[in-house]
Amino acid sequence: MFVAGCANQRVPAEAALQAAEQAVAAIRPEAEHFASDGLKAVDDELAFIKKSITEKKYGAAITAAKNATDKVKELEQTVVAKKDELTKGWGPMADSLTTMVGQLETRVAQLSSSRRLPAGMTKGQVSEAKASVEQLTASWTQARESFKSGKLAEAMTMAASVKSKAAELMNKLGSTGA
């Protein structure tokens, strides 16, 4: 009778595992980007469930599956919160960078066409600045593409790097900006 009772728990344990795996699969791509620690905790829970089923500890597997389901819900909330945070931060960053890159392009164009450069500035420095602006523009384009493809954290990291380099270049060129 005990063996029959255990066998009766096998099906619900496997069903609970399958449900938890499906729930994780639905959010895995975003969780990898926004909540990798939480995803690891869920994956560890799934591994424990599988081990429990293999060891015929079906009650433990069912309990762990309930815990995994709760962790998946928490993970979903974390992903949504992180996405919202990054999306809200993107607007001001994008506006600021668009302005800065535009100002740099204008300043380099002015310096390139100027017959007299400011004191202490050489044509070589202007050429270097022009190359730097082209590189910043390419990096900024890449950051925007990352944002459009949903890689928000990567896009924000890239944008912050571009902004730092743009501010440094603005200081070198005597520009003022955002």
pLDDT (tens digit per residue) in 77-133: 999 999 999 899 999 999 999 999 999 999 999 999 988 988 888 899 999 999 999
Checking if the pLDDT of 27 tops 80, the result is yes
Domain ranges of the chain: 2-81, 86-173
Q: Would you state the structure tokens that stand for residue 102, as one six-digit string?
A: 């535009």
Stated pTM of the model: 0.67
Q: For residues 117 and 114, what is the distance between their CA atoms, to the nearest angstrom? A: 6
**Other C-beta atoms lying within 10 Å of the C-beta of residue 107:** 20
Q: Which of 144, 137, 152 is nearest to 35 (CA)?
A: 152
- 176 pLDDT band, cuts 50/70/90, is low
